[in-house]
């Protein structure tokens, strides 16, 4: 029994009038307990779909078509509907992208936390419950009085921290944060990430951070998985990937982050993100790749270990400069 | 704590509320007057005189009978007191059934979708094509014997849920897409819990407005049935008073007080319901809110 999260071969398919598309194609990821995995990629590459698949919340016409997701040795995909409902929040919790719309506008924050607890636990005495709610709010730097406030009385950052309080109150084994700071300014962003990191370290849970902010990833996560067109194209420890990116896509992603060293020279990625409706026989990144060869269009590269804790799926991986 | 409420009595709050929503305030005051009339009236007036043969017939208003008497010897003030509550009661029961059943089916259909939703939509679509009055007349005449206001209310209630169901379902369909509903699902909340504690509170002003609308429609239907002579013969509802008045040719014989009494009460009742309804609409739909002069 391995602890933490171990995903093997997870695939999600969308059946539309135009055909069936794999939004998530045979993904393998692993997050040891207490560790943080960053899931990065462009819009539509399957980041959020992967997160929802782990919670088994893919809505029709989407469908999980294969794979296993072992959390502390228990396959989430094999649980019954009722077991899965119990698992949500208590073992796997989700922090949404838009905290603005994720809290009920007519219910005080404290009541929303109490409702979330009541969905998973037997009723506890009133004062114990309210002490617990206050403690949860204070743990994310919210005043105790916030329990009586409505969402519209909180700022965006406070709402997001309230969401973190809800997501961590039952000490889940896995926290999935889906671009938790994308709507916040950098100051609130830092505060929210600090609170998230603190809560995660205290409970020792695994964490998946979804986003496309490479700078945030570099600071916050331990491991990184780069997604392109529903597949993991590169995965490894965050230091390894940032110092020695092997996949051209990763290299371009990192280069697109403005740094103090190369001021005034912003580089973007050429082309548009791969469309899932036109599945290429070879590498999905081939049409945009600077290192493309005829082989790339024919033959899909399989993920291959290039170094300890570093996997990339590319026929022509970048050779790391030894000076790095 | 974080709220800054200036230290003022509850009276000040009421005044502020009345200024912000004069329609709702006036409507509620009128409703209160009617309820007071129906419940406090009997304390100062003998309502047994609402029965036939308890006063000399066909008398115009006088000190002994301020609203006059009808040609069967009812005191019309007593009849109005009894009839007001009976009429409101029909509205409350039938409107309550309508909105309760409508909210339940509307929410369940919208939330769960699938065959349940299709079944509900199908029944509602077919049901709404049945002319309500025809249905009520047919059933009213079939059950002539045992009819009292409660059974009439239940009868009206069997149709009263159809349009609330459709309207509430439409509102709930929109709400189902809300972020907090999705997050509640992601947090493992059960369907019923989401409907009751996430969606329902958001629709409360709307549900209240539908309730008031359903009440007035139920009262309208009940008065219509009564006036056609399909109401409870031994209860002086406002509609039955109209029926007796028509049956005894009060217009031709010039008994204006007999005509005035039920109509005046009904007008006040409907105006009150209308004002409450638009007042609630202002709460449910903030865009209708006017700006307050300071």
Q: What is the mean pLDDT of residues A30-36?
A: 91
Helices B76-112 and B114-129, packing angle to 10 deg? 140
Distance from CA of B223 to the nearest CA of A (A): 38
Q: What is the mean pLDDT of residues A102-110?
A: 90
Q: What is the mean pLDDT of residues B232-238?
A: 88
CA distance A239 to A31: 16
Confidence tier at B35 by pLDDT (50, 70, 90)? very high
B18 touches chain A (CB under 8 A): no
Instruction: Locate the domains of chain B by residue range.
Output: 22-45+71-288
Q: Tell me: the pLDDT tens digits for A143-162?
A: 999 999 999 899 888 998 89
Residue whose entry in the numeric block shows the structure tokens 């008497």: B69
**A316, pLDDT greater than 90:** no
What integer pLDDT is reported at residue B290 of this predicted model? 60
- Contacts with B, A 74-93, CB within 8 Å: 85-90, 93
CA distance A304 to B161: 63
B186 touches chain A (CB under 8 A): yes
- Contacts with B, A 146-205, CB within 8 Å: 146, 148-149, 153, 163, 166
Q: What is the mean pLDDT of residues A116-141?
A: 89
Instruction: Report chain A residues whose CB lies below 8 A from the CB of B201.
Output: 104, 106-107
**B4, pLDDT greater than 50:** no
B188 touches chain A (CB under 8 A): yes
Tokens found for residue A154 = 């909180």
Q: What is the mean pLDDT of residues A199-220?
A: 89
**Tell me, what's the ipTM?**
0.82
**Contact A148/B1, CB-based, under 8 Å?**
yes
Instruction: Locate the domains of chain A by residue range.
Output: 5-312
Instruction: Report chain B residues whose CB lies below 8 A from the CB of A149.
Output: 2
Q: Which of B232, B102, B83 is nearest to B169 (CA)?
A: B102
Q: Kindly list the strands in the beta sheet with A62-71, ordered across the sheet, starting from the edge strand earlier in the chain.
A: A19-31, A5-16, A62-71, A74-75
What integer pLDDT is reported at residue A172 of this predicted model? 92
What integer pLDDT is reported at residue B44 of this predicted model? 85
**A284, pLDDT greater than 90:** no
Instruction: Report chain B residues whose CB lies below 8 A from the CB of A148.
Output: 1
Helices B204-227 and B149-160, packing angle to 10 deg? 130
CB atoms inside a 10 Å sphere around CB B278: 16
The dotted CATH code for B22-45+71-288 is 1.10.3720.10
Q: For residue B140, how far is the Cα from the chain centroid?
A: 20
Please name every residue paired with A177 in a beta bridge, in sequence order, or none if there are none.
A95, A209
Helices B76-112 and B22-39, packing angle to 10 deg? 130
B185 touches chain A (CB under 8 A): yes
Q: Which residues contact A252 (CB under 8 A, 6 or more apart)?
A: A267, A269, A290
Give, rounded to a whole angstrom, the gap between the first and last alpha carbons of chain A.
37
**Contact A116/B190, CB-based, under 8 Å?**
no
Top-tier CATH class for A5-312: alpha beta
CB atoms inside a 10 Å sphere around CB B176: 18
- Contacts with B, A 48-77, CB within 8 Å: 55, 57
A317 touches A303 (CB < 8 A): no
Q: Tell me: the pLDDT tens digits for A210-262?
A: 988 888 898 899 999 999 888 899 999 998 888 888 898 988 888 887 777 76
Burial class of residue A16, CB neighbours in 10 A (0-12, 13-18, 19+)? exposed
What integer pLDDT is reported at residue A60 of this predicted model? 84
Instruction: Give start and end residues of each alpha helix (H) in B21-60.
Output: 22-39, 41-44
**B99, pLDDT greater than 90:** yes
Which residue in the set A101, A106, A148 is minimally distant from B179, CB to CB? A101
Check: pTM over 0.90? Answer yes or no. Answer: no
Instruction: Give start and end residues of each alpha helix (H) in chain B.
Output: 10-20, 22-39, 41-44, 76-112, 114-129, 132-142, 149-160, 162-176, 179-186, 191-193, 204-227, 238-247, 250-253, 256-284
What integer pLDDT is reported at residue B229 of this predicted model? 86
What integer pLDDT is reported at residue B56 of this predicted model? 83
Average pLDDT, chain A: 86
A103 touches chain B (CB under 8 A): yes
For residues A210-244, b (16+ Cβ closer than 10 Å) or e, as one string?
bbbbbebbbebbebbbbbbbbbbbbbbbbebbbeb
What integer pLDDT is reported at residue B163 of this predicted model? 92
Q: Which residues contact A145 (CB under 8 A, 6 or more apart)?
A: B1, B2
**B288, pLDDT greater than 80:** no
Which residue in the set B1, B2, B186 is minimally distant from A88, CB to CB? B186
**B6, pLDDT greater than 70:** no
**Contact B187/A94, CB-based, under 8 Å?**
yes
Q: What is the mean pLDDT of residues B239-254?
A: 89
Q: CA angle, B242 as apex, B241 and B243 as ends, to 5°? A: 90
Q: What is the mean pLDDT of residues A118-140?
A: 89
Strands A36-40 and A231-237: unpaired
**Contact B180/A104, CB-based, under 8 Å?**
yes
B183 touches chain A (CB under 8 A): yes
Average the pLDDT over each of A47-51, A256-260, B138-142, B159-163 and give the range with the smallest value.
Answer: A256-260
Q: What is the mean pLDDT of residues B275-286?
A: 82
B150 touches chain A (CB under 8 A): no
**B293, pLDDT greater than 50:** no
What integer pLDDT is reported at residue A35 of this predicted model? 92
Confidence tier at A175 by pLDDT (50, 70, 90)? very high
A146 touches A163 (CB < 8 A): no
CA distance B12 to B84: 32
The residue ranges of DSSP E strands in chain A, in sequence order, are 5-16, 19-31, 36-40, 62-71, 74-75, 92-95, 174-178, 206-211, 223-228, 231-237, 304-307, 310-312
**Contact B178/A101, CB-based, under 8 Å?**
yes
Q: What is the mean pLDDT of residues B156-160?
A: 91
**Contact A98/B2, CB-based, under 8 Å?**
no
Strands A62-71 and A223-228: unpaired
Tokens found for residue B111 = 């939330």
């Amino acid at each position: 029994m391995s602890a933490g999260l171990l995903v093997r071969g997870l695939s999600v398919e969308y059946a539309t009038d135009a055909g069936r598309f794999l939004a998530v194609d045979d993904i393998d990821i692993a997050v040891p307990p207490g560790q943080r995995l960053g899931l990065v990629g462009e819009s539509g590459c399957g980041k959020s779909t992967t997160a929802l698949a782990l919670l088994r919340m893919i809505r029709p016409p989407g469908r999980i078509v294969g794979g296993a997701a072992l959390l502390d040795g228990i396959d989430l995909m094999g649980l019954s509907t009722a077991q899965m409902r119990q698992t949500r929040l208590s073992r796997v919790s989700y922090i949404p992208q838009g905290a603005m719309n994720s809290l009920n506008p007519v219910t005080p924050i404290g009541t929303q936390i109490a409702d979330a607890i009541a969905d998973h636990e037997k009723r506890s005495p009133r004062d114990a419950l309210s002490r617990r709610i206050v403690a949860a709010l204070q743990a994310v730097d919210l005043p105790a009085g916030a329990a009586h406030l409505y969402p519209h009385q909180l700022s965006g950052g406070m709402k997001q921290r309230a969401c973190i309080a809800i997501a961590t109150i039952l000490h889940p084994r896995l926290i999935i944060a889906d671009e938790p700071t994308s709507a916040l300014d950098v100051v609130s962003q830092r505060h929210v990430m600090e609170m998230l990191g603190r809560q995660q370290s205290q409970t020792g849970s695994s964490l998946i951070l979804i986003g496309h902010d490479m700078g945030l990833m570099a600071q916050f996560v331990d491991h990184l998985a780069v997604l392109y067109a529903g597949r993991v194209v590169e995965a490894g420890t965050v230091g390894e990937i940032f110092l020695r990116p092997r996949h051209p896509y990763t290299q371009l992603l990192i280069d697109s982050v403005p740094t103090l060293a190369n001021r005034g020279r912003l580089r973007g990625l050429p082309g548009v993100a791969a469309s899932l409706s036109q599945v290429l026989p070879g590498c999905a990144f081939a049409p945009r790749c600077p290192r493309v060869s005829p082989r790339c269009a024919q033959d899909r590269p399989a993920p291959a270990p290039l170094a300890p804790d570093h996997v990339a799926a590319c026929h022509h991986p970048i050779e790391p400069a030894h000076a790095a | 704590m974080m709220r800054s409420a200036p230290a003022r009595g509850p009276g000040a709050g009421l005044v502020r509320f009345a200024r912000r929503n004069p329609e709702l305030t006036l409507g509620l005051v009128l409703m209160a007057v009617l309820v007071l009339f129906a419940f406090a009236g009997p304390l100062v007036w003998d309502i047994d005189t609402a029965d036939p043969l308890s006063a000399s017939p066909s008398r115009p208003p006088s000190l002994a009978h301020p609203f006059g008497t009808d040609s069967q010897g009812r005191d019309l003030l007593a009849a109005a007191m009894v009839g007001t509550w009976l009429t409101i009661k029909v509205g409350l029961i039938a409107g309550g059934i309508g909105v309760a059943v409508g909210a339940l089916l509307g929410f369940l259909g919208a939330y769960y979708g699938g065959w349940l939703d299709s079944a509900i939509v199908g029944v509602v679509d077919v049901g709404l094509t049945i002319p309500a009055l025809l249905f009520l007349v047919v059933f009213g005449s079939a059950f002539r014997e045992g009819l009292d206001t409660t059974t009439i209310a239940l009868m009206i209630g069997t149709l009263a849920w159809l349009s609330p169901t459709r309207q509430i379902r439409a509102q709930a369909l929109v709400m189902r897409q809300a972020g907090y509903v999705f997050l509640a699902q992601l947090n493992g909340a059960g369907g019923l819990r989401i409907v009751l504690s996430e969606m329902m509170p958001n629709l409360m002003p709307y549900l209240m407005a539908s309730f008031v609308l359903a009440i007035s429609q139920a009262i309208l239907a009940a008065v219509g049935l009564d006036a056609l002579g399909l109401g409870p013969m031994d209860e002086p509802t406002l509609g039955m008073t109209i029926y007796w008045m028509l049956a005894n040719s009060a217009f031709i014989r010039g008994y204006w007080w007999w005509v005035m009494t039920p109509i005046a009460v009904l007008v006040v009742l409907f105006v009150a319901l209308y004002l409450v309804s638009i007042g609630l609409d202002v709460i449910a739909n903030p865009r209708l809110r006017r700006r307050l002069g300071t």
